[in-house]
């Protein structure tokens, strides 16, 4: 990859940044100058050796401290651990280290940028012998078996607009600071607790009541997610963890979870018994537990009571308003409608076309019983958008219905933050209304929404308009809230691809495959990253695996057209192109415009490539939108960006073209 160079000779890149300095060096110099110099020299030898051994570069020494950069977050963490392990042996050097992954500018005088500032602030939090890093680093090394880490919470850093999650290395002799030891810049203070609500266990004799248990869990998650000062792990990760063989405390530690809420539900006729316990995640210490026997008609008040008890136990971190108002409000007075709604959610969360169809029918039945049920209107909007994006329903009609129900949800009131997120999603994927998408996202945030899905859509929007550093930041936040979500991780890796950080992308794709080796999209993305690193044999292996995993000889061939073209094997590329043609003939309703655009580009046929992009633009098919982002932002397509017709298309879409 060629690092972009500005007119002033400076270069921009994404890097893992390491600050390290000796604590108390100035005082030691005054007491014993020779000892201070001896320790400083020992520090310099160890740091330079470890940085070099882990493919890094020491950019600058300043008295008792150093600034280094690495191309890999994993290498940076390992280098830092290696440095501390050595300097904690006699003669001990009281060194503190801070790491962050961020965008930097480098010129003849050094490096600078927000990433450097954040790394410096994190280093200032540390104590001698400790290694601290940001959630940006954590997202890339969380699944490395040889690296143990502990979450210290989120901190407000000086001159940094948003709180930053901070983690500590917990390997070997390296010091893990207690939270009250984490000191620094005066303006730094923790402002969040991370809570995970595990799926409530169904103790009812009727196994069909599992949907009721899952629905109660999800309602409490959604309610707590709107509380200021509280970070709540998304449903998809908490439900995935519930089936994991790994111990809950260990997984909570990896995800930075501080507290868990667990429970069981027994429902019989018109009564319900819910037992809950609120625990410290690290050691499973029980903070509070309670059993409630209530009439089923009081289920909404009970959910709200449980949520408010959680907030009360974490009162020191909540904003004042959170203590007074209800967290979960009754969405309907009709219990039959509510039960149907929970059944609809049960189907919707399966996330496949057949189950979404069933969910749509349930939500329509809900609205027949209660037309003002806002959450059902929003959920029905999501169903139509999903079915339109995957081609089960005609996109134009499906998105029109999705838009209609989202607008109705906004008009009805209730939990309007989710309704505005639904609007943002439709404006992005179908109308390609970037300003409208942004306005709806802002409105959703103003109304208290801070979910993983919200951050994912923000990330896609920012990638589409060309703000890749902020897009990556949003996706990192989405993963922080939904750390076991493979689609979220996959999107982060793709954003690294767009930003030209191919090795970073590969690291994330590998993490995905460690969690689930059947997640085929990770093979496709990894294959593209390897292609762009000119590692052809590895790329072909990954892309061939991806194609085979589709289970169909005509699917997943576009990436192989690209691979063989880049390898110079035009005959094989044309063979796969013929398969793409056959697939279009056999299934004329499937949208392959972006596939053909990519294939023609790979074969050097620019005008034909743009012809298909024009068709994609006219069709406004939901999945086409992400394909357009792919072509607009991946550096592989830079030759296409220079063609006048493509530039005209970008203007009509109100987009800027990447400059790389």
| Token pair of 62 as six digits | 């300043």
Q: What is the CATH number of domain 11-181?
A: 3.30.70.1230
Which runs of consecutive H residues, i.e. helices, occur in 126-193?
Answer: 135-141
CA dihedral 510, 516, 518, 522 (to 10 degrees): -30
Residue 226 has pLDDT above 90, yes or no: no
Alpha-carbon span 600 to 590, nearest angstrom: 18
Summarize the chain as % helix, strand, coil (round to 5): 60, 15, 25
pLDDT tens, residue by residue, 481-540 = 888 888 899 999 999 999 999 999 999 999 999 988 999 999 999 999 999 999 999 999
pLDDT band at 324; cut points 50, 70, 90: very low
Alpha-carbon span 317 to 388, nearest angstrom: 42
Looking at residue 303, its pLDDT comes to 85
Looking at residue 623, its pLDDT comes to 61
| Token pair of 254 as six digits | 């990896």
Is 272 or 321 the better-scoring residue by pLDDT? 272
Residue 596 C-beta-side C-alpha neighbours within 13 Å: 19
Question: What residues contact residue 295 under an 8 Å CB cut-off, 6+ apart?
Answer: 270, 271, 272
Mean pLDDT value of segment 602-616: 93
Residue 644 has pLDDT above 90, yes or no: yes
Decide if 18 contacts 56 (C-beta within 8 A).
yes
Lowest pLDDT segment from 233-247, 404-418, 583-597: 233-247
Lowest pLDDT segment from 96-100, 109-113, 380-384: 109-113
Distance of CA 597 to the CA centre of its chain: 28
Looking at residue 322, its pLDDT comes to 43
**Helices 486-498 and 468-481: crossing angle, nearest 10°?**
160
Among residues 449, 420, 415, 452, which one has the least CA distance to residue 437?
A: 420
Write down the mean pLDDT value for the chain.
Answer: 85
3-state secondary structure 398-439: HHHHHHHHHHHHHHHCCCHHHHHHHHHHHHHHHHCCHHHHHH
Residue 659 has pLDDT above 70, yes or no: no
Alpha-carbon span 339 to 273, nearest angstrom: 17
Mean pLDDT value of segment 237-260: 75
Decide if 209 contacts 202 (C-beta within 8 A).
yes
What DSSP state is assigned to residue 462? H
3-state secondary structure 190-217: ECCEEEEECCCEECCCCHHHHHHHHHHH
Mean pLDDT value of segment 87-106: 90
Per-domain residue ranges of the chain: 11-181, 193-330, 552-660
| Token pair of 171 as six digits | 């390997």
Alpha-carbon span 257 to 192, nearest angstrom: 11
Residue 161 has pLDDT above 70, yes or no: no
End-to-end Cα distance, the chain: 10
Looking at residue 16, its pLDDT comes to 93
Alpha-carbon span 113 to 117, nearest angstrom: 7
Alpha-carbon span 481 to 477, nearest angstrom: 6
Looking at residue 323, its pLDDT comes to 44
Alpha-carbon span 556 to 550, nearest angstrom: 7
pLDDT tens, residue by residue, 299-310 = 888 888 888 888
Cis check: omega of the bond before 595, within 30 degrees of 0: no
Looking at residue 557, its pLDDT comes to 96
Gyration radius of the chain over CA positions: 26
pLDDT band at 365; cut points 50, 70, 90: very high
Looking at residue 316, its pLDDT comes to 45
Q: Is the dihedral of CA 68, 17, 629, 141 positive or negative?
A: positive
| Token pair of 620 as six digits | 């406004």
Looking at residue 2, its pLDDT comes to 43
3-state secondary structure 624-642: HHHHHHHHHHCHHHHHHHC
**pTM, to two decimals:** 0.67
Looking at residue 321, its pLDDT comes to 40
- String of b and e for 357-389 (b: at least 16 CB within 10 Å)? ebbbebbebbbebbebbbbbbbbbbbbbbbbbb
Residue 64 has pLDDT above 60, yes or no: yes
Mean pLDDT value of segment 385-389: 84
| Token pair of 479 as six digits | 């993963």
Alpha-carbon span 480 to 134, nearest angstrom: 11
Mean pLDDT value of segment 323-329: 64
Residue 4 has pLDDT above 60, yes or no: no
Count of other CB atoms within 10 angstroms of residue 208: 10
pLDDT tens, residue by residue, 197-225 = 999 999 987 767 888 888 889 888 888 88
What are the backbone angles phi and psi of residue 305, rounded to the nearest 5°? -65, -40
Residue 165 has pLDDT above 50, yes or no: yes
- String of b and e for 121-144 (b: at least 16 CB within 10 Å)? bbbbbbbbbbbbbbbbbbbbbbbb
Count of other CB atoms within 10 angstroms of residue 167: 25
3-class state of residue 355 by DSSP: helix
Residue 247 has pLDDT above 80, yes or no: no
Lowest pLDDT segment from 25-39, 83-97, 414-428: 25-39
Looking at residue 116, its pLDDT comes to 86
3-state secondary structure 10-42: CEEEEEEEEEEEECCHHHHHHHCHHHHHHHHHH
Mean pLDDT value of segment 46-56: 95
Looking at residue 319, its pLDDT comes to 44
What DSSP state is assigned to residue 234? -
Looking at residue 187, its pLDDT comes to 40
| Token pair of 625 as six digits | 């939108």
Alpha-carbon span 206 to 200, nearest angstrom: 15
CATH: 3.40.50.10070, 3.30.930.10, 3.90.1200.10, 3.10.580.10. Which one for 193-330?
3.40.50.10070
Residue 36 has pLDDT above 80, yes or no: yes
Looking at residue 108, its pLDDT comes to 61
Alpha-carbon span 511 to 142, nearest angstrom: 9
| Token pair of 213 as six digits | 């248990």
Alpha-carbon span 489 to 509, nearest angstrom: 8
Residue 19 has pLDDT above 90, yes or no: yes
Residue 153 has pLDDT above 80, yes or no: no
In angstroms, the Cα distances linking 415 to 338, 377, 403, 481 are 15, 11, 17, 20
pLDDT band at 371; cut points 50, 70, 90: very high
């Amino acid at each position: 990859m060629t690092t972009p160079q500005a007119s002033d000779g400076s270069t921009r890149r994404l890097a893992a940044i390491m600050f390290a300095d000796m604590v108390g060096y100035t005082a030691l110099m005054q007491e014993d100058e020779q000892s201070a110099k001896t320790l400083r020299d020992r520090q310099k030898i160890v740091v330079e050796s470890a940085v070099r051994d882990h493919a890094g570069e020491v950019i600058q020494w300043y008295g008792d401290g150093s600034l280094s950069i690495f191309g890999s977050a994993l290498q940076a963490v390992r280098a830092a651990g290696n440095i501390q392990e050595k300097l904690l042996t006699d003669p001990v050097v009281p060194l503190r280290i801070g790491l962050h992954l961020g965008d930097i500018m480098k010129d003849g005088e050094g490096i600078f940028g927000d990433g450097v500032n954040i790394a410096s602030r994190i280093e200032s939090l540390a104590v001698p012998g400790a290694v601290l890093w940001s959630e940006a680093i954590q997202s890339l090394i969380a699944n490395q078996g040889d690296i143990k880490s502990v979450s210290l919470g989120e901190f407000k850093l000086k001159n940094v607009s948003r709180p930053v999650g901070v983690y500590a290395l917990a390997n070997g002799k390296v010091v893990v600071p207690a939270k009250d030891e984490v000191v620094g810049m005066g303006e730094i203070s923790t402002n969040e607790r991370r809570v995970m609500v595990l799926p409530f266990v169904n103790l009812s004799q009727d196994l069909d009541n599992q949907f009721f248990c899952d629905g109660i869990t999800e309602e409490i998650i959604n309610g707590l997610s709107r509380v200021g000062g509280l970070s709540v792990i998304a449903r998809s990760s908490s439900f995935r963890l519930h089936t994991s063989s790994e111990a809950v405390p260990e997984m909570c530690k990896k995800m930075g979870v501080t507290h868990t809420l667990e429970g069981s539900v027994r429902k019989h006729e018109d009564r319900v018994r819910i037992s809950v316990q609120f625990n410290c995640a690290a050691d499973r210490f029980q903070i509070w537990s309670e059993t409630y026997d209530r009439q089923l008609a009081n289920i909404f008040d009970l959910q709200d009571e449980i949520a408010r008890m959680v907030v009360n136990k974490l009162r020191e971190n909540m904003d004042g308003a959170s203590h007074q108002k209800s967290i979960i409000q009754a969405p309907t007075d009709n219990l039959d409608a509510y039960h149907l709604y929970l059944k609809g959610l049960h189907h919707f969360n399966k996330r496949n076309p057949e189950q979404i169809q069933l969910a749509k029918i349930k939500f329509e039945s809900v609205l027949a019983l209660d037309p003002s049920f806002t959450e059902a209107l929003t959920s029905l909007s999501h169903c139509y958008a999903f079915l339109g994006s995957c081609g089960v329903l005609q996109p134009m009609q499906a998105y029109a219905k999705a838009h209609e129900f989202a607008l109705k949800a906004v008009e009805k009131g209730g939990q309007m933050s989710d309704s505005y997120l639904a609007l943002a999603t439709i404006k992005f994927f179908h109308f390609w209304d970037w300003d409208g998408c942004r306005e709806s996202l802002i409105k959703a945030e103003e109304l208290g929404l801070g979910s993983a899905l919200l951050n994912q859509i923000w990330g896609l929007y920012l990638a589409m308009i060309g703000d890749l550093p902020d897009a990556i930041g949003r996706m990192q936040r989405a993963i922080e809230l939904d750390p076991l979500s493979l689609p979220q991780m996959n999107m982060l890796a793709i954003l690294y691809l767009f930003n030209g950080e191919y090795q970073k992308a590969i690291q994330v794709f590998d993490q995905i495959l460690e969690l689930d080796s059947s997640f085929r999209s990770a093979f496709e993305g990894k294959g593209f990253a390897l292609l762009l690193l000119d590692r052809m044999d590895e790329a072909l292996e990954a892309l061939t695996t991806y194609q085979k995993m589709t289970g169909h000889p005509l699917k997943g061939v576009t990436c192989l057209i690209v691979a063989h073209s880049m390898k110079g094997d035009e005959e094989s590329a044309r063979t796969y192109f013929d398969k793409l043609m056959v697939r279009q003939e056999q299934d004329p309703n499937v949208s392959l415009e972006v596939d053909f655009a990519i294939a023609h580009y790979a074969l050097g046929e620019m005008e034909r490539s743009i012809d298909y992009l024009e068709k994609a633009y006219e069709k406004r098919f939901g999945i086409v939108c992400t394909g357009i982002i792919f072509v607009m932002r991946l550096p592989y397509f830079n030759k296409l960006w220079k063609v006048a017709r493509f530039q005209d298309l970008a203007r009509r879409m109100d987009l800027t073209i990447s400059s790389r």
